[in-house]
Amino acid sequence: MFWWYLGYTIGLWFKVEVKLTEEVSRKHLVFPLTSVKPYFQKEEDKFPSRKRNATPPAIVEVEDSPGPVWQSSKARKSSLNGKDQRQYLVRFENQTADKDKWLAEDVIPDGNLHLRRFRALRRNEQSHQ
């Protein structure tokens, strides 16, 4: 195992640990610095803002809905049992924002009608920006 101190770059000194096999360690050690890449033990270390949820988001059944759907405001992709699924944030009629629920398209009552309106509004907003 050898340690190299690489040049001063962007205000930081880099220290690189290189583990070499016995055969390679007897040779003159030259390698391009462009091949050196940072090592991260975990995916979370590489992307600290990307947090994984331990439990998938709950999908609410139609019977649990507090009333007719008033509007859909956001969309997200989620994975349930290994299958990707698009969910929509649904606000129900005469309910406050704390009662909003994430529902799958096939679970939303009159989903085709509401989601058609939702997609049209998003297209309209994007075209005016």
pLDDT of amino acid 99:
81
The residues facing 85 across adjacent strands are 78
At 19 the pLDDT is 67
Beta-carbon contacts of 29 under 8 Å, excluding residues fewer than 6 positions away, are 2, 18, 20
Q: What are the tokens at 65? A: 């809905």
CA neighbor of 114 nearest in space, from 61, 59, 65, 68:
68
DSSP character for 97?
Answer: G
* Structural domains of the chain ordered from first start: 2-42 (no CATH), 62-127 (2.40.50)
CB atoms under 10 Å from CB of 72, counted, come to 23
pLDDT in tens, the chain (129 residues): 444 545 545 555 556 666 666 766 666 566 666 666 666 666 666 676 766 655 655 555 555 555 666 566 677 777 777 778 888 777 777 777 788 888 777 777 777 777 777 778 777 776 666
Distance of CA 120 to the CA centre of its chain: 25
| CA gap 43, 79 in Å, rounded | 19
What integer pLDDT is reported at residue 120 of this predicted model? 80
pLDDT at 1: 44
Amino acid 105: pLDDT: 75
pTM equals: 0.39
Q: What is the dihedral of CA 40, 28, 3, 47, to 10 degrees?
A: -10
